[in-house]
Amino acid sequence: MISFIVHGGAWDIPDDLVEAHRNGVRKALAIGWKILSEGGSAVDAVEKAVNYMEDDPTFDAGRGSFVNAVGEIELDASIMNGTTFRAGAIAAVQNIRYPISLARIIMDKSEHILLAGMGAVRFGREHGILQCKNDELLVGRELERWRQLQSKQKFSTKDAFRKKTPHDTVGAVALDKNGVVVSGTSTGGTPNKYPGRVGDSPLIGCGTYADSSIGGASCTGWGEAIIKVVLAKTVIDMLEHNGGDAVIGAQQSIQRLEKKAEGFGGVIVLNNKGIPAIAYNTPRMARAYRTSEMNSDDVEV
């Protein structure tokens, strides 16, 4: 069975933004599903689907990302192949239009896993990924949000998930015809974050993890709490110990996030048979999935 699942963030998505989120994850799913259904690889499906969401300003990844405390955009992303156990990640990178593609280049071409800042940009340039202008990533909505936040005395990363403050990290997990599971995650982080802040998304085992013999996961939410419980790897460990039940594994992992670290967010999961699962403890989570046993997509916000 081939299977594909994507997410576009877990938070209190307002009613007037639901349709944009639904359309975004639906289109991303269609891109990845086309690749898989035509015999393509899980890594291509994940990269191209995430590229679409990085280009959609609805989400907090690539174009439309949040602005940090000094008015800059810093991007994080990671991708992992669950068969080869190779992974690539970038952290606190500026002026890159498609962060997940740079993470993949690191996975494919480097002996390292995580490159940060200008080192990651330099590696990308050496392999044909050019920088873009900041204006290509900045949208007026986020500039205005940044200006409003400057008037507040204190704004913590945890505040980014209270009420209707967005957090639209994106991610995908794929199982291809060869049984390869790949997971990927991309984000612009949290609004008004301190320069250089790195969340869970580029950390293998925290925001992203894949093991083709068990399954794969991509997370979204309050990064500091997700890091504390190593959420993505926790999900996969739970699947390994419960016989591969993705639904229970996802639910128990989010329960642990809340109990151990007072965290909130969501996770998408595929087990090694391609069975999808979603769990979150926020009011809403944008997600979509399809398997070869389904006649149509399942899209929910």
pLDDT for 130 equals: 84
In the predicted structure, residue 9 carries a pLDDT above the cut 50: yes
Which strand (E) or helix (H) includes residue 172? strand 170-175
Q: What torsion do the CA atoms of 30, 16, 199, 125 make, to the nearest 10 degrees?
A: 50
**Strands, DSSP E only, in 15-107?**
75-81, 87-93
H or E segment to which residue 201 belongs: none
At 61 the pLDDT is 94
pLDDT at 221 over 90: yes
List the structure tokens of 61.
């990844």
Instruction: Tell me the per-residue pLDDT of 181-209, one tens digit each, with 9 for 90 and over.
Output: 999 999 999 888 899 999 999 999 999 99
Per-residue pLDDT tens digits for 249-286: 999 999 999 999 999 999 999 999 999 999 999 999 99
Query: Is the pLDDT score of 163 beyond 60?
Result: no
Of 2 and 147, the structure prediction assigns the larger pLDDT to: 2
Supply the pTM of this predicted model.
0.94
Q: What are the sequence ranges of the domains in the chain?
A: 3-300
Q: What single letter denotes the amino acid at residue 185?
A: T
Per DSSP, 154 falls in state -
Please check whether residue 258 is in contact with residue 241, taking contact to mean a CB–CB distance below 8 angstroms: no
- CB-based contact 25:7 (threshold 8 Å): yes
Q: What is the dotted CATH code of the domain comprising 3-300?
A: 3.60.20.30
R_g of the chain computed on alpha carbons: 17
- pLDDT above 90 coverage of the chain, percent: 81
The span from the CA of 265 to the CA of 211, in Å, is 22
- pLDDT value of residue 190: 86
User: What are 35-80's pLDDT values in tens digits?
Assistant: 999 999 999 999 999 999 999 999 999 998 888 888 899 999 999 9
* pLDDT tens figures, 138-162: 776 766 766 776 766 565 555 555 5
Q: Residues with catalytic annotation? A: 169
Q: Which residues pair with 182 in a beta bridge?
A: 81, 174
